[in-house]
Structure 1
Amino acid sequence: MSLRSRLFLVILVPLLLVSVLLGVWRYSVAQRTSEQLFDRSLLAAALAISRDVTVSEGDALSPSARALISDAGGGEVFYHVTGPGGIYVTGYAYPPSFSGRISDDGPHFFVADYRGERVRVLRMSETTTIDNLTGKTVVTVWQRVSDRQAFATELARRAVILIAGLMAALAVVVWFGVAIGLRPLLGLHDAIARRSPNDLSVIQRPVPAEVSGIVATLNRLLGQVEDSIDAHKAFISDAAHQLRNPASALLSLAETLPAVHDPAERQQRERELIDAARNAAHLTEQLLRAERLHHGGLPLMERFDLNAMAERVCADQAPAVLARDIDFTYEPQGEPVFVQGDTVLLGEALANLIDNALKHGGPRMTEIIVSIRSCGTFAEVLVCDDGRGIPSDKVDVAFRRFGQLGTNQGSGLGLAIVQDIACKHNGDVKSLDVAQGACIRMRLALRAM
């Protein structure tokens, strides 16, 4: 269903319901109005008859009284008059019967059956003198109820016709009014439809205030998409640059290997080729991991002991560290340190910190210490070494993608991956100031028991 149709229904349906209620109310009002009008006409007829009977002393009604009775309310009016002592004076011989008592303080209205029809009756009495006889004169006038209902129905019908005409005119106005009101949205749709896929610029078309929030959100989304595309482009460019050197090294080693005939030199070249292939595979794996972390979803969160995870990672990394003749120490917290997170990703983060220390600690580095501790509401993983360290003015470069502090081996992705993993777990990574070497701290929120 189109927005125009939705708005049309939203506006018109309540108005239709209101019009139905208004029609019902108008019909009830018409009935009450007709009752009041007809009752007043009966009263006028009764007063006129009573006056004529008194003036003429019981003779026939005057022409003016008969004319008033004929015009008494849009329907036939019947009357019956008795004089003092109940003597019949004029009118129809048999009036509608009434079992109650007629009061002397005014006219009395009631509904009765008269010759198989429902009639509205007015009966009133007053003291009069006719032919020297003084007594009660009773005037009874009545009218068919069907005449009254027909009059009320006609009033209601006219009101319904008027309401229906107004609703039809309103429906036309609403239909075309909604179309005019939606014209800015249609113009916005056409402007966006004419854009090319490469045009992510801000929408500057004037729109109504009710739509400005949508346009602002769309502009913000376009900006985020453009930033994401730029980040992808930058990543592809950096990745291509980083992979070019390992690929060239592999190609050069592979091309020179067939020309080497000396067994010792050939074995040396093969080891170099294997190392180059291993470095290229490691770089490719880091590139893919960094991209998945940067644009992937939320990690699988579970509660675990950080001590146990760190002990497993240190056991896996120990052979590589000890092979470099470097002291490797693991210092767990004395009690369990529970955190909420993905054990695989956090294990990779710790492995990257240890690998980063190995690659960039320098030839004079003699030890690496991994420690776990809790501080307030946080758990901290620290990887410290006594190597060359990170200059304070180069910390931002070290945590940047492909950031290189010198000509050291490595892709410049290790710390960037660790930072992305910590951010996925609502934590942070920081390089602490130490007297010698480097100390990287990864902080995570503690998980209560």
Structure 2
Amino acid sequence: MKALSLRMRLVLVILPPLLLVSVLLGWWRFEVAQRTSEELFDRSLLSAALAISRDVAISEGDALSPGTRRVISDAGGGELFYHVTGPGGIYVTGYAYPPRPETKVERDVPFYYVAQYRGEEMRVLRLIESRTIGNLSGETVVTVWQRVSERRAFARELALRAAALIAGLMTALALVIWFGVQIGLRPLNDLQDAIRKRSPDDLGPIRRAVPKEVSGIVSTLNRLFGQVQDSIETHQAFISDAAHQLRNPAAAVLALAETLPDVRDPAARTARHHELIKAARWSARLSEQLLSLERLRYDTGTAMSPLDLNRVVEETCRSFAPKALSGDLDFVMDTAPDPLVVAGNPVLLGEAVMNLLENALTHGGPDLRSIAVRTLPDGDKCVVLIEDDGEGIPEDQTDAAFRRFSQLRNGEGSGLGLAIVEQIVQRHGGTVRLDNGTGGLTVRLALPRL
């Protein structure tokens, strides 16, 4: 499903509330128009009633003056009907049979009501006053009425005019929002064009002036560009170092393989054959460590599950034992009596322990006589200790030992073992530490305990 454009999103966010407000405003304006028309028409009825009452009093019951008739026809906003009775209920002037009220009407107070007249709904005003017509004195009743439909038509016209005005304003506002948003988003379009024109090798920071609302996106992009640049540089350095490290074992395997057919002495041929196997194993181990290091850097979805650290260490030590015993070493394993449950990946943890054991065997020196592996609980940690009585590592070089391809002394090894161990332990939320005792080296690997 195609996502909406940012402009359309902004329009959809802004316009619906405005439309709702306009509907509410139109409804309110219609109600106001109704009340306004009622007030205007009631006032016109009152004006007509007062004019008629005045004319009746002045003319002593004769016909209404032309001015009063003109007021009745023009000022009423529609056709007006009237009826006047003098003292004693004597008919004076107007239409016959006016609409009657259902309740008693007070004197000298305009009384409004709604009634039926010839099948139509009428708004009626009845005004009772004390008057003297000729030689008669008494109450004069002036009744004026008007069609309710004309009032409603007038109110509807007012409401429609207001609705047309609101609709026009909403249309103009929608156009202003549509084009205004487009103009407001122009810096984003310019930024998009600038990024599109960049070459794939240009990962420098964006230095364009952008609105404050976009500065966060630009700063995030700049940070991302920096991270990508660092990752590329690190990857390129790794490839360069890996190519350099693989060149030596590959050259050694090739040289031994090329010279092997020329060796005629059986003893020398056997020795050269063992050297070839050793070089091939070294090359394979280096390739495996390089792949493990890259997998740890980029594979962040490693499955973690509860496991017994004792079991992982035991299986790893069983795999390593033949190699240690073939070197005439004392190899001891002592695991904790109770399970040491941690959250981890058994393959990665086994590889970390194996790297530590091979490091001890490879870099222990000629005086190496024993390697001991122990597991024990330590508060909320599960600890693996790997101790040897070899040459150890000077304290001022422990940090360098964890760097990739770092070799403190010339000899065998790739310089990747401790780097891989550190990344595996960090992936499991643990720590690894090198301790130099009275002799040899102790590696302390600690993982969070479940």
TM-score (norm 2): 0.96
Matches within 5 A, 1:244-263: 244-263=247-266
Q: Distance in 2 between matches of 1:271 and 1:434?
A: 36
Tell me which residue corresponds to 1:138: 141
AA aligned opposite 1:101:
K
Mean Cα deviation higher: 158-167 or 270-279: 158-167
The structure 1 residue matched to 2:329, chosen from 326, 333, 339, is: 326
Q: Distance in 2 between matches of 1:351 and 1:27?
A: 85
Q: Show the counterpart of 1:301.
A: 304
Equivalent runs, 1:187-206 vs 2, <5 Å: 187-206=190-209
- Cα displacement string for residues 217-252 of structure 1 (whole angstroms, at most 9, x for unaligned residues): 111111111111111101110110000000110111
Q: Distance in 1 between matches of 2:255 and 2:134?
A: 149
Which amino acid in the other structure matches residue 99 of structure 1? Answer: E
Q: Distance in 2 between matches of 1:182 and 1:439?
A: 62
Counterparts of 1:375 and 1:129, CA distance in 2:
119
Give the letter for the 2:299 counterpart.
Answer: G
Task: Give CA deviations for 1:139-178 in whole Å, capped at 9, x if unaligned.
Answer: 1101111211121122122212222222222222212211
* Code of the aligned partner of 1:400: R
- The structure-2 alpha-carbon separation of the partners of 1:105 and 1:309, relative to structure 1 and needing over 3 Å to count, comes to farther
Question: Distance between the aligned counterparts of 1:429 and 1:123, measured in 2?
Answer: 104
Cα offset, 1:339, TM superposition: 0.8
Residue 237 in structure 1 maps to residue 240 in structure 2: yes
- State the secondary structure of the residue aligned to 2:386: strand
**CA–CA distance in structure 2, aligned partners of residues 406 and 105 of structure 1:** 122
Alignment partner for residue 407 of structure 1, among 405, 410, 416? 410
- For 1:132, the aligned partner's letter is N
The answer (yes or no) to whether the contact 2:309–2:342 under 8 Å persists in 1 is: yes
Residues 91-110 of structure 1 aligned to structure 2 (within 5 Å): 91-104=94-107, 106-110=109-113
> Does 2:391 correspond to 1:364?
no
Counterpart position of 1:375: 378
- 1:280 paired to 2:283: yes
The residue type equivalent to 1:229 in the other structure is I
Which stretch has the larger CA shift, 113-122 or 276-285?
113-122
1:186 corresponds to which of 171, 184, 189: 189
Q: 2:395 aligns with which of 386, 392, 396?
A: 392
8 A Cα contact 1:333 1:372, kept in partner: yes
Q: Quote the offset at 1:100 in angstroms.
A: 2.1
- 1:153 alignment partner AA: R
CA distance in 2, matches of 1:37, 1:433: 104
Q: Which ranges of structure 2 fall in alignment gaps of 5 or more residues?
A: none
Between stretches 413-422 and 331-340, larger displacement belongs to 331-340
Secondary structure of residue in 2 paired with 1:395: helix
1:130 Cα offset (Å): 2.2
Q: Distance in 2 between matches of 1:224 and 1:117?
A: 83
CA deviation string 1:14-69 (max 9, x = no partner)? 22222222222212211111111001111111112122222332222223322221
Amino acid at match of 1:52: D
What is residue 271 of structure 1 aligned with on the other side? 274
Distance 1:235 1:304 in 2: 33
CA deviations on 1:318-374 (whole Å, 9 max, x unpaired) are: 111121111112222232211111111111111111111111111101111111122
Q: Which amino acid aligns with 1:246?
A: P
Q: Distance in 2 between matches of 1:240 and 1:256?
A: 24
Identity %: 62
Partner of 1:291: 294
Question: Is 1:112 aligned to residue 109 of structure 2?
Answer: no
Q: In the aligned structure 2, how far is the partner of 1:206 from the partner of 1:433?
A: 56
CA RMSD of aligned residues (A): 1.4
Seen in structure 2, the aligned counterparts of structure 1 residues 329 and 105 have a Cα distance that, compared at 3 Å, is farther
Give the Cα–Cα distance (whole angstroms) in 2 for the partners of residues 62 and 115 of structure 1.
27
TM (norm. structure 1) is: 0.96
How far apart in 2 are the matches of 1:425 and 1:66?
Answer: 102
Aligned mate of 1:209, from 205, 209, 212: 212
Whole-angstrom distance in 2 between the partners of 1:280 and 1:433: 30
Q: Distance in 1 between matches of 2:66 and 2:148?
A: 26
Contact 1:374–1:380 under 8 Å retained in 2: yes
Q: Structure 2 CA distance, aligned partners of 1:306 and 1:404?
A: 29
Matched residue count: 447
Q: Does 1:158 pair with 2:139?
A: no
1:343–1:105 CA distance, 2 compared to 1 (3 A): farther
1:423 aligns with 2:418: no
Confirm or deny: 8 A CA contact 2:368 2:389 kept in the other structure.
Answer: yes
Cα shift readout 1:287-315 (whole Å, capped 9, x = no counterpart)? 00110011112321111221222122112
**Residue aligning to 1:312:** 315
- 1:13 aligned to which of 8, 12, 16: 16
4+ aligned runs moved over 3 Å, structure 1: none
- Amino acid aligned to 1:277: A
Distance 1:244 1:366 in 2: 32
Per-residue CA deviations over 1:68-93 (Å, capped at 9, x if unaligned) read 21222321111111112211111111
2:309–2:340: 8 Å Cα contact kept in structure 1? yes
Q: Counterparts of 2:311 and 2:261 in 1: how far apart (Å)?
A: 48
1:340 to 328, 343, 351: 343
CA offsets 1:84-118 (integer angstroms, 9 cap, x no match): 22111111112123322212362111112211222
Q: Which moved more, 1:127-136 or 1:139-148?
A: 127-136
Q: Show CA shifts across 1:251-276 (max 9, x none).
A: 11011111111111111111111111
The whole-number CA distance in structure 2 between the counterparts of 1:152 and 1:83 is 35
Counterpart amino acid of residue 216 in structure 2: G
Asked if structure 2 preserves the Cα contact closer than 8 Å seen for 1:298 and 1:424, the reply is: no
- Give the aligned partner of residue 85 of structure 1: 88
